[in-house]
Structure 1
Amino acid sequence: MPSSISFKVASLYSGIMLASGIGYSATASSVEAASRVVEEVIVTAQKRNQALSDIPMSVSVLGGEELERQQATNFEDLVNKIPGFSVTGNTAGISRITLRGINTGGVASTVAVYVDDVPFGSSSGLANGSILAGDFDTFDMARVEVLRGPQGTLYGASSLGGVLKYVPNAPTTERFETRFRTTLESVNEGGLGNATTGVVNLPISEHLAIRASGFYREDAGYIDSIGNNPIPSMTDPDANIFEGTQVEEDINSVESYGGRIAALYEPSEAFSLNVLAMLQKIDTGSSNIVDADPATLKPLHDSPIKSRYHDDFSNIEYQVYSATAKWHFDAVTLESITSYGTFEQNYQDDLAAAELVPGTYLSSLLTFLLEVDPATMPLSVVQEQTTATDKFSQELRLLSQDNDTLEWMTGVYYTKEDSGIDPQVFTPINTLTGEVAVGIPTVAELTLPSTFEEMAVFANGTWYITPSFELDFGARASRNEQSASQVQDGFLVGGALAYDETNSSESPFTYSLSPRYEFSDYTSVYARVATGYRPGGPNILPPGVPADTPRTYDSDTLTSYEIGVKTGSEDGRLALDLTAFYLDWDDIQLYALVNNFGVNGNGGTAVSRGFEFTASFLPVDGLNLSLNGAYTDAYLTADTDPLVGGLDGDPLTFVPEWSFGLNGSYEWDISSDIAAYIGGDLGYTGERPAGFSNRDTEGNLRIADSYTMVNLRSGVDIGRWTIELYGKNLGNEIGITAIESEGSLPNGAVGLGMLRPRTLGVSVGAQF
């Protein structure tokens, strides 16, 4: 199986894998490992087993063992390990991921997330797919592959920025394996967290194996809510509708847990079947937002404080089920991938201080409109919402065998999504009791069911023109059809109203072309031209919108021009991967508020240009150094709709111009059965602009400061046991991960999403 051969590599050497796909075969002795024969890393980025160094595009690979050793479990932990990768968000499981700056803050995703060959999440713009991408736990992963976009020919919709692909360890009939790990950690200004993980691989026979893994993590909170910031009355500025915010510590704790079970049945070399079931839950007590000064973007308090009036939380659940069958014939291989996946988010948002219209608080507005006496029934509001997608997909593909002249693949793909925001409810709260206010009419309740259906045919091939020169090419033709409707009720949205179903359809076409020339076994250059798209769809229009507001919006498209060099020394101790790119983005999908309703639209153009690199160096046996970085100059080349607020020349949302990651580790043998290691990494993320409408009093985009993260780790392997000490964010950097608009917090404060503060931990594991 690919996963069993691609990572016969010690975690010590994952930096080499990042650079060019070169690694070392691991043994018990780290010193011996450093001198062994170089072995290629095999990946499935192009849906067939290939050496990473032979792929004519920019791909990063993170080994599962190294991710575990570095305690890298989520999107945020991957930022300084993947060049050009950005994360925006303030709540666990609710993150917008971006590659090469392709981000304007829209609703639909620009980076597709896969579990093996299974697409996860919504492809439409009606189910918050951009912020509900699958943030899967990395325990017992063989690797994480990151393909920079566009990837429209092989991966289809919503991969115009790229693809993030989780590859779990597959069951194997070769050996019995079990291992577990338990961790205890302390976060600055917060409490104690813990984690427990475990996996077992059980060969039932020479043809059947089962692998099961599970994890439980509890991340301690570190943000407090204190009794401050009373809400003023709209009619009497000297009066307060109710007392100050809640008094509670560590409100942003996170509990996540889940597991996978997979079975491999391989009765002969001609047939194999791999089935998988996976479940993950992420329950968050509150967001990572803190009160900050809108002018300086500095926290208003010495410790992390958020002004919270009511509980705000998010509960997310992922499910993935798949069956992958492969039939090997003499000349071709037929593969079938059938999958069903779901995600569901239930959340409650505290709107006590949120402004519905400029200068007024929503709770105060309700008090005024409903003529409620604030002395006997002070009102505030919470928003409750459920967002869900059920996704079925089927892919069939036919692959040629390895060939010195022409290798090809062709296939068909079908997917059906049923999504819904059902319901979205604005509920009045009696602040004297903390319960739902009695006798108050419905404020607002909305449902938005939608469907997305797509059929595609695709083909890809590699023509080996000479032993040194090859041409990779591909194309994909798709057809998608969508429908959506909306039902609403409540006096703030014009009463009961049901909209007619709105439909849309499109037939996008994408292609890629990549010549590659090999100067030697260790050095090659390539160029790549590729296109991608993000599906358009129907709009459900709010009451009172202008007559020319479109009922549908179109796909946006992206064309990429890329050149790259992959090189390394003959002995494998030095490796370099360097890529330069220019991305041309047209008909950008934009999200705007019209009469306080979200509307999708198209408008304007943008470009993103820059370069990325990854370098690895093994100067002496046991010492591994790697450096990655990216320069990204991404900006609008035309004004957006005034409702969106983007101007020609504005940098794209939350994209750092510069980012770097430096990693080093050293491993040595203390005795024949004891090895020790130390390691660390440093990540720099440059300044990032907020959304186009998030500007200061002078009209300039708000800018998040740069930050530098320092992580260290040290441990010993004693036979089957491992003990590790680690520290994350040792400098206690206040790294900004999101900037909210003014009005979401009381007294004019702006909300900042922040990195997890300094965290110290100890981990003990065993393998049998």
Structure 2
Amino acid sequence: MTLKSSQPARRTMAGLLLASTVLLSPAAAFAQAAPEDEAAGGDIIVTAQKRSESIQRVPISLQALGTETLAQHQVTGLDDYSKLLPSVSFQTYGPSQSDISIRGVSTGGINLPGGSLPTVGVYLDEIPVSTIGAMLDVHAYDLARVEALSGPQGTLYGASSLAGTIRLITNKPKQGVFEGGYDLTLNKFGEGEAGGVAEAFLNVPLSEKTALRVVGFYRRDGGYIDNTPGTRTFTLSDGDPTTNLTVNNAAEVKKNFNTLETYGGRVALGIDLDDNWTMTPTIIAQHQKAKGSFGFDPRVGDLQVHEYAPDRNLDKWYQAALTIEGKIGNFDLLYSGGYLERSIDNDQDYSYYTVYYDTLDTFYTNFPDGNGGFLDPSMRYHNEQRLTKQSHEIRLSSDQSNPFSFTAGLFIQRQSNKNLADYTIPGFGSIPSTFAVFGDDIFVTDTRIIARDYAAFGEAYYKITDDLKLTGGIRVFRARNSLKGFSGFASNAAASGCAVPITLGSCVNVDKTYKESGETHKVSLSWQVDRDRMVYATYSTGFRPGGNNRRPGINPYDADTLDNFELGWKTAWLDRKLRFNGSAYYMRWKKLQYTLAPVGSAGVVNIYNSGDARIYGAEFDVQYRTGGLTLSATGTFTDAKLSTPFCSINAAGNSDCTLGTVAAPKGARLTVQPKFKGTGTVRYDFDLGGRDSFVQGSVLRQGGVKNFLATADDLAVGRTTGFTTFDFSAGTKFGEISVEAFIQNAFDKRGILSRNTFCPATICGTVARSYPVKPQLFGMKVSQRF
């Protein structure tokens, strides 16, 4: 958010923003409109460093997607905008079940509830919304831009910005302006179901100094994956073929069963308290329900699976936020505070875990029902999370016209996660001599995590000369993480002195606290060669707090840190028709955190510090505009490997570097980020009979990825291969109404973003699911602005 200097300037900038967002290059990150004298020169004013300055003078690698760019690529959520940001990659189980990474800072797998914090900080406007286990999948409508900051951003953005930061910036209420619009989309997957999106916004001036902005949306995605008939036979681990039990999935068979429904809205009030102060309270809410599996099993067939239990994910959340900004003398002051409440209810087929254990001589599948038969041992997974997140930040910025200028502030955050994870066998709790720990649960986790963060931060620059600027920053922090509750089998409950079956909340076998404090810093030297060309060198660090493991006897995991050395350039040529920006970097990642299920742990995972890594890479974005033709391309090259071995896990379940074997050797490739990811777009805007019209084509090229760090997991699941997809669109305007036709993944290439398992990879690797890019999708969109 741009700090306010005067009311007329703020209104001018808001108006120019709408006009400046057409086909912004990814280099045009944090694109806010400039005052008229700067806009004419082509500069873009950004707030990447929480102060207003030209994009071409910010010594950070930035990418952004403006309002028009998001619309031109039919962006509605994470999977859409991430493919336009080459430095960003993600692994997923489906909508609202994804982890993102930047520049290859990832160890693979999905962070489970109670696991590590994410490596990428996510902000909704000024408020951090990062959560453990799944990124908040915000519906992308009426956004000013999506911003991606590559590299550690811990100085200004805190603990979870180890690898970078994603910011989703909404359009704010506008004073004295009545405007609105709607967008209606109908679409259909090539061989799947039809769907559609209805979206609208309205900006209403309520008085001379007050304006209201209201946004609403409804989205339904049709399915494209089929749950086809299948059977399996359990041997029941008793060596007696006469007791073999055959089950089928007839009750769950359905064509195109992975549907998605999302609806919600936003209400924001803009209040000018006087000429120097504004206040913006906002409430955002979203309800998302996904059914079925969004990954398919290549062994079964293309876009097909065999699921034996319902798959469902219900994600509901709301956020209340308040921003107050103004001036005290020559200083800009901003306060931002937010409260997020999120509820996740997830059901998954966990029966392939049972299939694996049926091949072993264990107790996991032999359950006499007391009537001469045996219980179907197919396991299911149910998870309920209740998350809250409260944060407050206050910061002060000095006059940027001075040779020395600074931004300084204080930050406090408290977040909680009440997590109930049931691993159930229907009817298990009612059989004779059951050893259910709770209800039908063979294993249960009932824990509560409370994490508190406190920080003081500052960043300043000094103009050594008119063209040479030195920037430095530091963040001092303190973190406290507590984990309390129960996790285990009935035997673990009995060992803790609890009556079995347990009563939820009454049995405690985990009660741990982790504390740490420290600092992170950066320094950057930039040289403005001339108005159109700047080069910079930056050294920055990042951190991610450590935490506790839920299993008794397992050591806590330490914080991991990142050192980033970066050289970058931001240039414009040919009278600013050509823009070419880029950077090259080397990063050292120390004590990286990794989630692993050791052999013999019955699939229960722990988090380990799995050694150090080094990452080399380069990013670029280029755009050329002449007349109605715009050519743009972005790309990232990444080479990420372990620089030390990932030590073995001993019999006690802890990492032990004295053993002879290793979980992953030095030189092992890191996960999730392909070695190359790039996009290119050609767009031509022209007049067709007096109507503004366009045609556009885009291409995405992405290399294959490694999905798991540990060698055994990697071999069990396998890697993805590279792919290329093409999108096309064309449209025209009839007065205020725009009509557009589009096709995504035009040639229906089955690009695989990741391969994942819902139970530990060494157990379920042979039935790993492939999570594809969207199949071929046809659509028609009608829009109006008034």
Normalised TM-score (structure 1): 0.90
One-letter code aligned to 1:329: I
Q: How many residues align?
A: 730
Measure how far apart 1:336 and its partner are: 0.9
Measure how far apart 1:192 and its partner are: 0.5
Matched, 1:328 2:327: yes
**What residue is the counterpart of 2:744 in the other structure?**
728
Measure how far apart 1:587 and its partner are: 1.1
Matched, 1:513 2:534: no
Check the 8 A contact 1:332/1:401 in 2, yes or no. yes
Correspondence for 1:385 among 383, 386, 411 = 383
Instruction: Report the Cα distance in structure 1 between the residues aligned to 2:765 and 2:166, rounded to whole angstroms.
Output: 40
Measure how far apart 1:248 and its partner are: 0.9
**What residue is the counterpart of 1:58 in the other structure?**
61
**What residue is the counterpart of 1:173 in the other structure?**
175
Check the 8 A contact 1:64/1:138 in 2, yes or no. no
Correspondence for 2:730 among 700, 714, 729 = 714
Correspondence for 2:692 among 669, 672, 675 = 675
| Aligned-residue RMSD, C-alpha | 2.7
Instruction: Report the Cα distance in structure 1 between the residues aligned to 2:771 and 2:56, rounded to whole angstroms.
Output: 38
Measure how far apart 1:540 and its partner are: 2.5
Check the 8 A contact 1:231/1:244 in 2, yes or no. no
**What residue is the counterpart of 2:513 in the other structure?**
503
- State the Cα deviation string for residues 336-384 of structure 1 (Å, max 9, x = none): 111111222110111122248655389x954415566684643422111
Instruction: Report the Cα distance in structure 2 between the residues aligned to 1:453 and 1:377, rounded to whole angstroms.
Output: 45
1:612-691 aligned within 5 A: 612-618=619-625, 620-643=626-649, 645-672=663-690, 674-691=691-708
Closer/same/farther in 2, CA of residues 692 and 269 from structure 1, 3 Å limit: same
Aligned partner of residue 155 in structure 2, secondary structure = helix
Instruction: Report the Cα distance in structure 2 between the residues aligned to 1:368 and 1:500, rounded to whole angstroms.
Output: 30
Instruction: Report the Cα distance in structure 2 between the residues aligned to 1:736 and 1:600, rounded to whole angstroms.
Output: 27
Instruction: Report the Cα distance in structure 2 between the residues aligned to 1:14 and 1:694, rounded to whole angstroms.
Output: 42
Normalised TM-score (structure 2): 0.88
Check the 8 A contact 2:269/2:282 in 1, yes or no. yes
**What residue is the counterpart of 1:29 in the other structure?**
none
Instruction: Report the Cα distance in structure 2 between the residues aligned to 1:373 and 1:630, rounded to whole angstroms.
Output: 62
- State the Cα deviation string for residues 283-334 of structure 1 (Å, max 9, x = none): 11022121124xxxxxx42x41111011011111232211111131221122
Moved more, 90-99 or 556-565: 90-99
Instruction: Report the Cα distance in structure 2 between the residues aligned to 1:494 and 1:22, rounded to whole angstroms.
Output: 57
Higher relative contact order (CA 8 A, sep 6+): 1
Instruction: Report the Cα distance in structure 2 between the residues aligned to 1:489 and 1:700, rounded to whole angstroms.
Output: 26
**What residue is the counterpart of 1:297 in the other structure?**
none
Check the 8 A contact 1:695/1:702 in 2, yes or no. no
**What residue is the counterpart of 2:353 in the other structure?**
354
Q: Any gaps of 5 or more consecutive residues in structure 1?
A: 27-35, 123-128, 294-299
Correspondence for 2:595 among 570, 579, 591 = 591
Measure how far apart 1:174 and its partner are: 3.4
Instruction: Report the Cα distance in structure 2 between the residues aligned to 1:176 and 1:103, rounded to whole angstroms.
Output: 45
Correspondence for 1:426 among 408, 412, 423 = 423
Aligned partner of residue 641 in structure 1, secondary structure = strand
**What residue is the counterpart of 2:84 in the other structure?**
81
Check the 8 A contact 1:353/1:743 in 2, yes or no. no
One-letter code aligned to 1:291: D
Aligned partner of residue 76 in structure 1, secondary structure = helix
Instruction: Report the Cα distance in structure 1 between the residues aligned to 2:577 and 2:143, rounded to whole angstroms.
Output: 26
Measure how far apart 1:493 and its partner are: 5.1
**What residue is the counterpart of 2:459 in the other structure?**
460
Instruction: Report the Cα distance in structure 2 between the residues aligned to 1:600 and 1:345, rounded to whole angstroms.
Output: 22
Correspondence for 1:740 among 736, 753, 756 = 756
Correspondence for 2:610 among 581, 596, 603 = 603
Correspondence for 2:539 among 515, 529, 535 = 529
Measure how far apart 1:740 and its partner are: 2.7
Give percent identity, aligned residues only. Answer: 25
Measure how far apart 1:82 and its partner are: 1.4
Measure how far apart 1:539 and its partner are: 2.4
Measure how far apart 1:696 and its partner are: 8.2
**What residue is the counterpart of 1:164 in the other structure?**
166
Aligned partner of residue 763 in structure 1, secondary structure = strand
Check the 8 A contact 1:5/1:42 in 2, yes or no. no
One-letter code aligned to 1:635: K
Aligned partner of residue 668 in structure 2, secondary structure = coil
- State the Cα deviation string for residues 610-656 of structure 1 (Å, max 9, x = none): 100000001x3111010111100001111113349322111111220
Aligned partner of residue 226 in structure 2, secondary structure = coil
One-letter code aligned to 1:397: R
- State the Cα deviation string for residues 253-305 of structure 1 (Å, max 9, x = none): 11111111101101322211011111112211022121124xxxxxx42x411
**What residue is the counterpart of 1:32 in the other structure?**
none
Moved more, 381-390 or 677-686: 381-390
Matched, 1:262 2:262: no
Closer/same/farther in 2, CA of residues 748 and 480 from structure 1, 3 Å limit: closer
**What residue is the counterpart of 1:417 in the other structure?**
415
**What residue is the counterpart of 2:23 in the other structure?**
13
**What residue is the counterpart of 2:297 in the other structure?**
291
Instruction: Report the Cα distance in structure 1 between the residues aligned to 2:44 and 2:368, rounded to whole angstroms.
Output: 66
Measure how far apart 1:216 and its partner are: 0.8
Instruction: Report the Cα distance in structure 2 between the residues aligned to 1:541 and 1:243, rounded to whole angstroms.
Output: 35
One-letter code aligned to 1:110: T
Measure how far apart 1:66 and its partner are: 1.6
Instruction: Report the Cα distance in structure 1 between the residues aligned to 2:389 and 2:491, rounded to whole angstroms.
Output: 33
One-letter code aligned to 1:247: V
Aligned partner of residue 13 in structure 1, secondary structure = coil
Instruction: Report the Cα distance in structure 1 between the residues aligned to 2:26 and 2:254, rounded to whole angstroms.
Output: 46
Instruction: Report the Cα distance in structure 2 between the residues aligned to 1:425 and 1:507, rounded to whole angstroms.
Output: 35
Instruction: Report the Cα distance in structure 2 between the residues aligned to 1:282 and 1:463, rounded to whole angstroms.
Output: 47
Measure how far apart 1:188 and its partner are: 2.2
- State the Cα deviation string for residues 159-204 of structure 1 (Å, max 9, x = none): 0100000110000013111100111111022111111000000111
Closer/same/farther in 2, CA of residues 718 and 485 from structure 1, 3 Å limit: same
Instruction: Report the Cα distance in structure 1 between the residues aligned to 2:328 and 2:35, rounded to whole angstroms.
Output: 31
One-letter code aligned to 1:482: N
